[in-house]
Amino acid sequence: MKRIAVMTSGGDSPGMNPAVRSITRAGLHKGLEIFGIRSGYQGLVDGDLIPLDSHSVSGRIRDAGTFLQTSRCPEFVKPEVQLRALKVLEQHRIDGLVVIGGDGSLKGARALHSYGLPVIGLPGTIDNDLFGTDMGIGVDTALNTIISLVDMIRATAASHRRCFVVEVMGRGSGYLGLMTTISTGSQVAVIPEFRMNIDSIVEVLDSRSNANHNASVIIVAEGVCQGAEFMQRLTENGKVKQEVRLTVLGHVQRGGTPTHYDRLLASRMGEMAVLALISGEKGSMVATVNGKMQLRDFDEILDRRKALPGDAIRLARNIGIEIGDVVES
């Protein structure tokens, strides 16, 4: 293992830059040459590689986004496109690859690994929907961004005695929605893992209004429906007495300055990826399980649905959050 490449792919997440920095610095320390692939799989197929030195990643621990840039490259599912990517890596004499991204990106990484290329993946996603790791890189920052924004919304909601519906990200997962409902002191979580019960939600709002609570906040995960659609369903029968307003948090959720947790997680995972490649490991994702770093085979973690933490569901119920009914699987 003399020369390795690193790329970021799929949706950006705060912590991708600290991960690239750690891979570069740890790799250089171990005597490797490091290349950065720009714009994800598209850049790989196009041969857009740049050498990285210690200076290239200077200061990157503080930046959200990804300075290597990212893209979506739907063509990459095709074997002939994957073979083109392998040719590019061969031309640049790349011996090992680190892919930082979500579920889709790691499927691309598994495809490259299946041709014999040593590949290690890092979970770079704010959604925390990757099976096999307790946390993804960027999740903690996204959670903190959401709670600071919802705290601000709550101030105006309380001043006007309004109910706010807040749409948060998460793709098919309710992780961000559930966790931030708990940590913002919101009353209702509408998440894909549970079936919402509009009557119960109206009851919650009603009883709070009767008890002279100033404000209520409902967190709606994008994986259920758009916030506007939920608003429509909530208000269509005219039972909600309070004024209801909608805020869609949108892409600001990706842009927060990486938190201490994410900087450390990304640094540790990046270092582990380099050490893994040097020691001959391949075809796996670096995961954190109960606070410890682990390598988990792509086949063990991909194509599996990650469940929400059971203790968080219990906590939400026990402190009176309305989360709807269990969806039978």
Binding site for ligand ADP (CB under 6 A): 9-11, 41, 72-74, 76-77, 101-105, 107-108, 111, 125
Give residue number: closest CB to ligand ADP.
104
Element housing 134 (H / E): none
Nearer to ligand ADP, 85 or 166 (CB): 85
β-strands 119-123, 96-101: how paired? parallel
Least separation in angstroms between residue 72's CB and ligand ADP is: 4
Nearer to ligand ADP, 76 or 298 (CB): 76
The residue among 123, 83, 118 whose CA lies nearest residue 283 is 118
Q: Rounded to whole angstroms, how far apart are CA atoms 21 and 57?
A: 5
Least separation in angstroms between residue 142's CB and ligand ADP is: 13
> Do the Cβ atoms of 154 and 218 come closer than 8 Å?
no
Least separation in angstroms between residue 282's CB and ligand ADP is: 17
Residue partners of 195: CB distance under 8 A and separation at least 6? 324, 325, 326, 327
Q: Catalytic residue positions?
A: 127
Least separation in angstroms between residue 13's CB and ligand ADP is: 8
Q: Rounded to whole angstroms, how far apart are CA atoms 12 and 252?
A: 12
**SS3 (DSSP) at 217:** strand
> Do the Cβ atoms of 130 and 285 come closer than 8 Å?
yes
Nearer to ligand ADP, 59 or 74 (CB): 74
Q: Rounded to whole angstroms, how far apart are CA atoms 249 and 247?
A: 6
Nearer to ligand ADP, 18 or 104 (CB): 104
